[in-house]
Structure 1
Amino acid sequence: MTGRSDRDNPFDPRLIAAVVAVGVVAFIALWALVALGPQLSSGNDGGGHALSKAAPGFAGIVDLAERARADVELRRSVETATYEDDKPLLVLTPAADTNAEDVADMLARQGNGPVLLVLPKWRTMPGTGEGHKPGWVGFGVPLPAPTRLLPQNYFGTVEIAMPQAKAQTVTADVARRRFAVPLPAGAQTISGAGLETLIPGANGGAVLARTTNREFYVLAEPDLLNNLAFASRDKAHAAAMLIDAVGEDAEAAGIAFDLTLNGFGGGRSLLRFAFVPPFIGITLCLIAAGLLALWQAWARFGPALRPARAIPISKQALIANSADLIRQARRELDGADAYVRSQRGAIARRLHAPGGLSAEETDAWIDRHLKADSASFATLARRLPLARNTHEFLADAQALHDIRKELLRDG
Structure 2
Amino acid sequence: MSDVGDSRTSTADRVFSPLTVALLLIIGLIGFAGSLLLGAYAPELKSGRNAGSHALSNAATGYAGIVELAGATGRHPRVLRADDGWKTEDLVVATPEHGTTDMSQFMAARHGKATLIVLPKWATIADDETGGWVDVSGLLPSFDPAGVLAPSTVMTVTRRPSGARVLHVGDGAPQSLAVSAPRPLQTVTSAALTPLITDDAGRIVLGQIGRSNTYILADPDLLDNHGIRRLDHARAALDLLDFVNSNNSHAIAFDVTLNGLGRGRSALKLAFEPPFLAMTLAIVAALALVGWQALVRFGAPQPRIRAIAFGKTALIDNSAMIVRKAGREGMLGGRYAALIRGHARTIFGVPARLTDDEADRYLDNLGGTTRFSTLVADATRAEHRTDMLAAAQALYRWQQEKTQ
TM-score range, shorter-chain basis?
A: 0.5 to 0.7
- What is the SS of the residue equivalent to 1:181? coil
Contact 2:114 2:244 (C-alpha < 8 Å) held by counterparts: no
Q: How many Å apart are 1:127 and its aligned residue?
A: 1.5
Counterpart-to-counterpart distance in 2, 1:161 and 1:105: 27
**Aligned position for 2:358:** none
**Aligned position for 1:319:** none
Counterpart-to-counterpart distance in 1, 2:228 and 2:12: 67
Q: How many Å apart are 1:226 and its aligned residue?
A: 0.6
Q: Select 2:221's aligned residue among 220, 223, 229.
A: 223
One-letter amino acid matched to 2:132? G
One-letter amino acid matched to 1:107? M
In the TM superposition, what whole-angstrom CA distance separates every residue of 1:362-383 from its partner, at most 9, and x where no partner exists?
xxxxxxxxxxxxxxxxxxxxxx
**Aligned position for 2:77:** 72
Change (3 A) 1:175 1:74: farther
Tell whether 2:50 aligns with 1:45: yes
Q: Select 2:91's aligned residue among 80, 89, 92.
A: 89
Contact 2:162 2:181 (C-alpha < 8 Å) held by counterparts: no
Q: Normalized against structure 2, the TM-score is what? A: 0.63
Counterpart-to-counterpart distance in 1, 2:106 and 2:100: 12
In the TM superposition, what whole-angstrom CA distance separates every residue of 1:288-321 from its partner, at most 9, and x where no partner exists?
444455555555465179xxxxxxxxxxxxxxxx
**Aligned position for 1:397:** none
Counterpart-to-counterpart distance in 2, 1:218 and 1:108: 16
Q: How does 1:242-391 map to 2 (within 5 A)?
A: 242-247=240-245, 249=246, 251-295=248-292, 300=297, 302-303=299-300
Number of matched pairs: 294
Task: Work out the percentage of aligned pairs sharing the same amino acid.
Answer: 35
Change (3 A) 1:189 1:261: same
Tell whether 2:20 aligns with 1:23: no
Counterpart-to-counterpart distance in 2, 1:252 and 1:33: 35
**Aligned position for 1:121:** 121
Counterpart-to-counterpart distance in 2, 1:138 and 1:270: 39
**Aligned position for 1:160:** 157
Tell whether 2:57 aligns with 1:57: no
Change (3 A) 1:128 1:18: same
Counterpart-to-counterpart distance in 1, 2:82 and 2:277: 18
Change (3 A) 1:35 1:190: farther
Q: Select 1:36's aligned residue among 28, 38, 41.
A: 41
Contact 2:167 2:198 (C-alpha < 8 Å) held by counterparts: yes
In the TM superposition, what whole-angstrom CA distance separates every residue of 1:145-180 from its partner, at most 9, and x where no partner exists?
444432544xx2223333455442213246441132
**Aligned position for 1:197:** 195
**Aligned position for 1:233:** 231
- For the aligned residue pairs, the C-alpha RMSD in angstroms reads 3.3
**Aligned position for 1:112:** 112
Contact 1:175 1:246 (C-alpha < 8 Å) held by counterparts: no
State which drifts further: 165-174 or 59-68: 165-174
One-letter amino acid matched to 1:109? A
Tell whether 2:132 aligns with 1:135: yes
- What is the SS of the residue equivalent to 1:120? coil
- What is the SS of the residue equivalent to 2:268? helix
Counterpart-to-counterpart distance in 2, 1:4 and 1:94: 71
Counterpart-to-counterpart distance in 1, 2:114 and 2:291: 54
Q: Normalized against structure 1, the TM-score is what? A: 0.62
Change (3 A) 1:276 1:23: same
Residue segments in structure 2 that go unaligned for 5+ positions in a row: 303-404
One-letter amino acid matched to 1:118? V
